[in-house]
Amino acid sequence: MLQLQILRENKENVITALKKRNIDAGPMVSKVLELDEKRRAIQTQLDNTLAESNKLSKEIGMLFKSGKAQEANELKEKTAGLKEASKQLGDDLNATATALQEQLYLIPNMPHALVPAGSSEEDNEEVYREGDVPKLSEGALPHWELAKKYDIIDFELGVKITGAGFPVYKGKGARLQRALISYFLDKNTEAGYTEMQVPHLVNEASGYGTGQLPDKEGQMYHVQADDLYLIPTAEVPVTNLHRDDLLAESDFPIKYTGYTPCFRREAGSYGAHVRGLNRLHQFDKVEIVRLEHPDNSYKALDEMVEHVKNILRELKLPYRILRLCGGDLGFTSALTYDFEVFSTAQDRWLEISSVSNFETFQANRLKLRYKDETGKSQLAHTLNGSSLALPRVLAGILENYQTENGIQIPEVLVPYCGFDVID
Annotated binding site for L-serine: 233, 264, 287, 384
Give the burial string for 209-237 (b: 16+ CB within 10 Å, else e): bbbbbebbeeebebeeeeebbbbbbbbbb
Tell me the HSE value of 111 on the side-chain side, using a 13 A CA sphere.
25
Which of 319, 293, 325 is CA-nearest to residue 388?
319
Instruction: Give the annotated binding-site residues.
Output: 233, 264-266, 287, 351-354, 384
Nearest 5 degrees, angle CA 48-CA 49-CA 51? Answer: 65
Instruction: Give the annotated binding-site residues for ATP.
Output: 264-266, 351-354
Question: Residue 240: exposed, middle, or buried by beta-carbon count in 10 A (0-12, 13-18, 19+)?
Answer: buried
For residue 412, CA distances in Å to 178, 194, 341 come to 14, 22, 17
Question: What's the rounded Cα separation, in Å, for the pair 25 and 358?
Answer: 19
Name the E strands within 158-309.
Answer: 168-169, 194-195, 201-203, 222-223, 228-230, 246-248, 254-263, 282-292
Total length of the chain: 423
Tell me the HSE value of 328 on the side-chain side, using a 13 A CA sphere.
19
Q: Are 362 and 54 in contact (CB under 8 A)?
A: no
